[in-house]
Every structure is written in C-alpha cells, then in structure tokens.
C-alpha cells in the first residue's frame, strides 16, 4: 500500500504576482482589452499590447507605466494570418495570452447578412484560433507552460434574440477552450475563458441611453447592476497566475447571476 504524501506545513496562499512574465493582450487599445492589460501590468507582467491602432496602444502603455508597470505596443491585425505569424509568432517569449479581440453586430436572425456573419465569425473565432495557436506554439517551444485566456461572454452559455451569430461565435470559444485545455494540459499550458455580462464602456454606454434596453438588461441580472471594467481585472490576474494552477478547460462567468436563472 502506497503511503500518502506528506502534508506540507505551513500552507501558503498561492502567489498572484506575474513578475518576469510576458503577457500578450489582443484588442488592448480600449475597453476590456485595456482593462486586462492594466490588470496584468499591475501584477508585474511585461505586457505586449496588440491592436491595429498605435495611438490607442501608446495611451494604454503610458497608463500602465504611470502605475509603475511595463508595456509595449505591437501593431498587428489579428484578422491577417500572416500578421499573426510574423508578429505574435515572432515574439521571443509568451507566458500569458489574453485572446480578447472581438466584435458584434446585433440583428434579427432572419436578417443576418453573409457579410456580418463573416465579420463576426472571422474575428471572434478564426482569429482567436490562430492567435491562440501562435501563442501555444511559443509556449510549447519554451517548455515552461503558460496560460491562455479567451475572452468569451455570458452569451457563450445562453442565447439571446438578435445575437444569434455572436452567441454562436462565443459558444465556439467555449468549446475551443475545453478542447485546448485537454490537449495542452500535459504541457502545463492552461486554457480558460472569461464570460462577462454587459460591461459599461464608452462603446456600450450609448446602448444604455435607451431606458427600455437598460431596464430589460438590469432585469436579467440578479445583482441588479451592469459590469464595470474593474470586475474583469481580478479574474484575468487569477487565471494568469499560479493561484489557478489546477484550473484548465473552464470558464469564469462574470455576469451578476444572469446565467444562473
């Protein structure tokens, strides 16, 4: 009979610092990407900020630097597979990826156009797959493990009118997360997703100027409030850090209870 392993004493809370790590964030120039980048920079990672718009990235890099962190912009169009290979694949080190770039174009299902279908699925799914692939290849070559975090949505767990294609894309991300988590687990590369509810950002704020839309949204959230960018930041650091060392193929849903109904 095999003896049980000794119990280590004293127990210590796992570290949530990311010092010495390189964290890549796509769609980092604004909104959720900016919040993720600031969170990782605040936890000690050097953040590689990715989007197509250099001035946005420079502003976020300056924001992180002002708080004592380190960040550098990398202009890359994640809808261009050649750009992904050259720029993300060309990085010397990747320890954390936040696969955040995405889009939405709400419309009734009976009016969904091929152009909008392609736009949503190409960015939300195809680009996410190949960005993750480039990061995973780098992590495998390094041989030191890593953390890949897909930005999903509560809509990856439920359905909603006028968001059929967006829901389809985020359900695909949830499946991708599980499959990648299983395949990469032997290499200590963890893959998880974050599923936010409606987060109040400059982009979403105009939606909530419509009183009926705001009332309907809040009625679906048991906690009765919209998400803030800060609500995402702790989850990102947790999933990137050793504090979540045994978590893979899973999702953290930050929705105030929307999907618990």
Instruction: Based on the residue annotation, tell me whether 117 is a catalytic residue of this protein.
Output: no
- The rounded distance, in Å, linking the Cα atoms of 59 and 55 is 6
- The rounded distance, in Å, linking the Cα atoms of 244 and 149 is 12
- The rounded distance, in Å, linking the Cα atoms of 55 and 73 is 9
Of 21, 166, 178, 207, the catalytic one is 166
- The rounded distance, in Å, linking the Cα atoms of 161 and 150 is 23
Instruction: Based on the residue annotation, tell me whether 138 is a catalytic residue of this protein.
Output: no
Q: Which two tokens stand for residue 250?
A: 């899973």
Of 170, 178, 188, 214, the catalytic one is 170
Chain centre distance of CA 246: 18
Strand residue runs (E) in 88-222: 96-99, 146-151, 189-196
> What positions carry a catalytic annotation?
166, 170
């Amino acid at each position: 009979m095999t003896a049980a392993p000794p119990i280590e004493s004293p127990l210590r809370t796992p570290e949530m610092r990311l010092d010495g790590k390189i964290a890549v964030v796509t769609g980092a120039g604004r909104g959720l990407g900016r919040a993720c980048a600031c969170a990782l920079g605040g936890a000690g990672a050097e953040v590689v900020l990715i989007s197509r718009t250099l001035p946005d990235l420079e502003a976020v890099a300056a924001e992180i630097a002002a708080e004592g962190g380190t960040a550098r912009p990398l202009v890359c169009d994640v809808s261009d597979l050649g750009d992904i290979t050259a720029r993300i694949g060309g990085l010397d080190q990747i320890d954390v990826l936040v696969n955040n770039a995405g889009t939405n174009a709400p419309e009734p299902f009976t009016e969904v156009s091929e152009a909008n279908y392609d736009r949503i699925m190409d960015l939300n799914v195809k680009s996410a797959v190949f960005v993750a692939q480039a990061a995973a290849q780098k992590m495998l070559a390094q041989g030191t493990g890593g953390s890949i975090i897909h930005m999903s949505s509560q809509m990856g767990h439920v359905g909603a009118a006028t968001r059929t294609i967006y829901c389809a894309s985020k359900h695909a991300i949830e499946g991708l997360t599980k499959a990648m988590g299983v395949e990469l687990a032997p290499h200590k590369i963890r893959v998880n997703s974050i599923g936010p509810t409606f987060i109040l950002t400059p982009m979403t704020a105009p939606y909530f100027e419509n009183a009926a839309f705001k009332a309907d949204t809040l009625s679906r959230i048991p906690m009765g409030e919209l998400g803030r960018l800060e609500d995402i930041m702790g989850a990102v650091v947790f999933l990137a850090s050793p504090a979540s060392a045994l978590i893979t193929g899973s999702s953290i849903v930050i929705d105030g209870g929307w999907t618990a109904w």
